[in-house]
Structure 1
Amino acid sequence: MQRFFLPVLPVLFLLGCGADDDNSNAPDITAPQLSGQFPADSAISQSRLLTLTGIVSDDSKLGSVEIIRGEQTFSADLQLDDDGRSGQFSAALRLSGGLNTFQIVVTDAAGNQTRASHQAYFGKRVTAGGAHSGAIVEGKTYVWGRNNKGQLGLGMTSKLASDESHPLTPVLLPTSKTFVSLAFNQNASLALAADGTVWSWGDGANGQLGLGSAAAETADTSTRLTPLQVPGITDAVSVVRGYGHSLVLHNDGTVSAFGSNNLGQLGDGSALNRDYPVRLTLTGIVQVAASSGSSYALDEQGVLWGWGANDYANLGLASEDTEVHSTPVQIPLPQAITAVAAGRDHVLALGKSGQVYAWGLNFSSQVGLFVSEQWPEVVTSPQLLPWFSDVQAVWANGNQSFVKRADGKVYPWGQNMLGTLGIEQDDDVEAPLSPILQFDNALDLGNGALHTVGLRGDGQLFSWGWSFEGSLGGSDLINLWGYRVPVLVSVPAAAAATSAAMVTSAP
């Protein structure tokens, strides 16, 4: 009997094509997904160098992630999983002073795109000095508190006991400039304008207002009652104040300094006070900080530099001395640093891992664990703090220390005799175990010597600590009194309602 065999190829063809029920040949029209951006939109960055990260995914294949800022476009580093459908990206951006706006553009292999607008703020929107305070709210600058040296910039001096016009609550600073960052300390004030100029007012006894000239025969040490422009600076992106000196970070990554220099805190190789800005030799700097007699600069590689006083091991060099350190030295740290904060004589350095190192004066446990005598009165080398590995920001002044953790709360420690830490405990705190009361979703802190102003993510202002001459800015507060629970600070409603939106700085 004869047998017949069907050809194999047509069968394979039919099996391969089928009825096309799964639409495998349909065009990819689904846009990729973007999530988990860090830092969150509109966050305040402590460093000019912002590392933006996020998660991307697609139903097919991912292509690229780009950042668009103004007319500039650059590619982010994209690390994909094995299937190419998901991954993480990171991008480093150099921020201008104030509000920075950019777009994140995710493209898949088929050309579909997802675009997300993102903002980051570089600068201090809240600040505090010896007993005066300031805040930038919707593009307007408000000031309040002590004004014996004209440090509020209102064109007058005033005292609580004798002047009915003394500002116990926030008042609008009368200026035509739009300030994007404030730096108050002791009895002097410094501000960065959106156009890159720097302005100063208040006590100028040590030349810390920077209003003098190298050609002048005598130093300018006058008190100034209104903001005046610091000559010769038009490209600043950040300003900070120590106790008697000031630092300016320029757009090109260099640093200028002026003011008291008896301990070499200006970093110009001398111990001479300067009433005008002098440029340092440092380059590639992304953040500056200043203390009572020392200065610090963080570079784009995560290396921390210090100069000035070292009598409490301020420079973290494993020793104490009373010598003048007038040129920057590298502070030895075991990992790259992303932010730095300086108290009166102690320092906090935030590592890339989310861990924090601290050193310097520890008499009030501002470094930590002195109360129980576990750590010495002076910590001479950077000490890894054992309490956390998820820190996102660090702040310090006086003998207090503060960190913001991933839960959005601020954890303080150190000197606490006048409610300075914003927690229920009365005595010095040797470990940051309790968050500040009623201050979740923290955005920024402005730390004074004995009080702090805080900005919450919803835009509300709070203050706590020593109430002196209206330093806390709350209504109906007792003078010469410590407030442990944060006090709500309200700006004038009419002024806030008519104020302009935040100014976006030029890239």
Structure 2
Amino acid sequence: SLAVTTGNTVYAWGQNAMGQLGDGTTEDRLTPVKVPGLPDIVQVSAGRNHSLALDSHGGVWAWGANDRGQLGDGTNTDRTSPVRVSGLAAGIAYISAGADHSLAVTATGGVKAWGSNSLGQLGDGTYTDRNAPVNVLGITNARTVSGGSLYSLAVKTDNTMAAWGYNAYGQLGDGTTSGHSTPVAVVGMTNASRCSANWHHSMAVKTDRTLWGWGQNTDRQLGEGTVPDKRTPVSFTGLTDVFAVAAGRWHTMAVKTDGFVWSWGYGYDGQLGVPASNVSAPIMVPGIDHIISVAGGEFHSLALKSDRTVWVFGDNECGQLCDGTFTNRDTPYQLPGMSNIKIIAAGAYHSLAVDSGGAPWTWGDNTFGQLGDGTTTNRNTPVPVSGALTVKTICGGFYHSLAVTDSGDVLSWGDNFYGQLGDGTTVSRFTPGKVTDIAGVVAVSAGYGHSLALKNDGTVWAWGRNTSGELGDGTTKNRLTPGQVPGLPLIESITAGEHHNLAVDTDGRLWAWGGNLNGECGIGALGLLTSPTRVSSIGRTGAISAGAYHNIAVTTDPWPVSLFFRKQPDDGRAGLPLLKQPVIEARYPDGTVCKDFTGPVHLFVLPGTGTAGSYVIGDFTVCAVKGVATFTDIGVDRPGTGYVLKAVCDFGSQTSAPFKVGDTAMMMPDALRCLRIAAGLVEADATDFPYRDVLPDGNITISDAAWILRAIGM
């Protein structure tokens, strides 16, 4: 499991045999360990044996197993520490790890994939594994993705979904059981906002907050009440007002707006939070409320309460419940000593968390080093991920873990058999290492042997296993370093199943690719999807989560709320906070603020006539408070004019008014001259007019003094 703290630190725990905990070891961790060596991370995703992390600059990191290239670093060497995913140092907005492949959405809506591609899960039109990110074909407007076991999903900005890869159970949702190495549309998925690719089933959330599922249904994980697999999406009767979802291998969870959790599917290890049994329709998990997020491992579950405490239930064979024992629990249990947690994540048999200071913790299976504590010892209590890291988000794959640093780099650790650590090797890592060639990453997700990253430009990048098309690049060749998933629009969120992925684009459309032998891509047909395919059978999608072969998605259509810039950004200087910081509200059509909205709002910079490749500095992900997201330290790294900020959340996006960014700092004599004029010590003359161009309001006044001092770094 993986988790990101509010201080952008990644924690990992559980199995670590392949270094997927990123702590530099292959020692299992029963308690969270901090993943070292990562910058500020905003998102993580865990695959089977590898992990992905997206840093605050849109860079992707990976660690763990890399045998299929799922780390995207250009090698097949496992990494026990995070490494950069090749080519993804910036520009990724979201990541998702499938079992052995990885996905990333670029800020421009493309999708990158890497890793195992045996069944077309990379979406590149081939069945060749990729150890560096490749483009998922046919997707240029992805919002988010999700990697499943052998397939992938994506949500596009037009709120349609695509899927690719393995499809034996109908998990691609195209009405068939034929696999696809390039994305195909999920039948009937319109207005999709989020998606989740799982082991062999897929889930999606529409913009109207309805939940849809397709693919394998052997254990009733689709919650639809009947056993046969579903080749196209079916809705969840009676489950409405859902805002967060999570899918395990054969079980699914949903959080409603009232803070209660509902679960269904396979439950014989207690992962449903009720006495062991299979459940064919959603039931409420007793004993927990005020839940704000959930995470599902293979057979265990995590829940995060609004008071920042962590609750666990289910399988505990490797210590992934972090209770100091190896005993399963079929009722929720509060983790002792774990408070002020802001992010939780689950790998197959390990768990991760990030505390409010950004420190990552891990516990559980550590066979491949996926706990990131430098060992391969299982942990049943939290251990910090090695490296004194501060991360923004975290995720767990099957045997590897990922985290995103504040700078947008991705750290990875754990199993690297497929290259899912993205460091260009297949050497597992027991401590975090940077995913190569990727930056500007805002989210990650990890599958069985692949990793996904979403960059701040809306592009998705993937690496690692690609046997099932997990990387979405049209091939089945593993990648050891990140490659962009082609064919996706601007993506807002991604999720990796075991061999498939899902992505939601900025218009709420759902996309999928990778393994689809069970229908996990939701396109109405079976067969690998090696390139992203729109899942068209559901509408605007919000929350998504990929299980092993199934997905869960929450629709948000009609979503009567939109983003609005209450305060527009103003001019500034490169590398410094803008003069006026943006304040963004969620508003109803009548202009009133939606005070119920407390979700994250992400900021991306669009170049306009500015410098291409620029990225946002500062904390560009803020959770709204009573419908208002207030940013305090946002800036742009390079000078230019015509920049705009794009605000993105689960239900939509909005762009700001244009602004300009000047050179990094004034020359000291010029700055002092301005201060003297502002203080009235000297009079301005014609030679001072150039100074007016660099001042906030065009005039040299005493009110400019603080700004001038900041501009020169004083």
Q: What is the TM-score when the length of structure 1 is the normalising length?
A: 0.68
Choose which of 450, 472, 477 in structure 2 pairs with 1:422.
472
The residue number in structure 1 matching 2:260 is 197
Is 2:505 the partner of 1:449?
Answer: no
Residues 148-175 of structure 1 show CA distances to partners (whole Å, capped at 9, x for unaligned) of 110000112114xxxxxxx312222101
Aligned to 1:149: 219
Hey, what does 1:361 align to over in structure 2? Answer: 415
1:40-55 aligned within 5 A? none
Partner residue, 1:107 = none
The correspondence of residues 173-322 of structure 1 with structure 2, limited to 5 A, is 173-211=236-274, 220-281=275-336, 282-321=338-377
Partner of 1:388: 438
Any gaps of 5 or more consecutive residues in structure 2?
1-41, 45-54, 58-143, 147-192, 542-554, 562-593, 599-625, 627-714
| Preserved CA contact (<8 Å) 2:224 2:234 | no
Distance 2:248 2:309 in 1: 22
Tell me, yes or no, if the aligned pair for 1:196 and 1:235 is still in contact at 8 Å.
yes
What is the distance in 2 between the residues matched to 1:483 and 1:375?
24
Residue 407 of structure 1: how far off its partner (Å)? 2.4
SS in 1 for 2:479: coil
For 1:413, the aligned partner's letter is W
Measure how far apart 1:406 and its partner are. Answer: 2.9
Farther-moved stretch of structure 1 (438-447 vs 344-353): 438-447
Distance 2:260 2:556 in 1: 27
Distance 2:203 2:517 in 1: 15
Residues of 2 paired with 1:256 and 1:485: CA distance? 37
Give the aligned partner of residue 136 of structure 1: 205
Is contact 1:410–1:440 with CA below 8 Å preserved after alignment? Answer: no
Contact 2:211 2:239 in 1 (8 A): no
**Aligned residue type for 2:502:** V
Letter in 1 for 2:197: A
Contact 2:301 2:313 (C-alpha < 8 Å) held by counterparts = yes
Q: Which runs of at least 4 in structure 1 moved beyond 6 Å after TM superposition? A: 493-498
Q: How does 1:476-495 map to 2 (within 5 A)?
A: 477=525, 479=526, 481-491=527-537
Residue equivalent to 2:429: 379
Give the secondary structure class of the aligned counterpart of 1:175: coil
**Which residue does 2:61 correspond to in 1?**
none
Q: Which residue of 1 is the match for residue 404 of structure 2?
A: 350
Number of residue-to-residue matches in the alignment? 367
Give the aligned residue type for 1:473.
G
Q: Secondary structure at the match of 1:221?
A: coil
Which of residues 422, 446, 452 is equivalent to 1:402?
452
Q: What's the offset of the Cα at 1:382?
A: 0.9
1:470 lines up with 2:519 in the alignment = yes
Counterpart in the other structure of 2:648: none
> Identity of counterpart residues, as a percentage?
32
The structure carrying a bigger strand percent of its residues is: 2
Greater Rg over alpha carbons, structure: 1
TM-score (norm: length of structure 2): 0.49
Q: Is the 8 A contact 2:454 2:494 kept in 1?
A: no
TM-fit CA distance, 1:437: 1.8
SS in 1 for 2:528: strand
What are the ranges of 5 or more consecutive residues in structure 1 without an aligned counterpart? 1-44, 54-120, 160-166, 212-219
Q: Is the 8 A contact 2:56 2:404 kept in 1?
A: no
Alignment check: 8 A CA contact 2:314 2:329 kept? yes
Distance of 1:317 and 1:52 partners within structure 2: 23
Distance 1:493 1:292, change over 3 A: closer
Cα deviation for residue 132 of structure 1 reads: 0.9
Is the 1:142–1:491 contact (alpha carbons within 8 Å) kept by the matching residues of 2?
A: no
> How many angstroms apart in 2 are the aligned matches of 1:232 and 1:381?
36
Can you list the C-alpha shifts for 1:74-122, whole angstroms capped at 9, x where unaligned?
xxxxxxxxxxxxxxxxxxxxxxxxxxxxxxxxxxxxxxxxxxxxxxx9x
**Deviations 1:300-349 (CA, angstroms, capped at 9, x unpaired):** 1010011111111111122223xx41110111235410010111011111
What amino acid maps onto 1:181 in structure 2? A
Corresponding residue of 2:393: 339
- How much has 1:424 moved relative to structure 2? 2.6
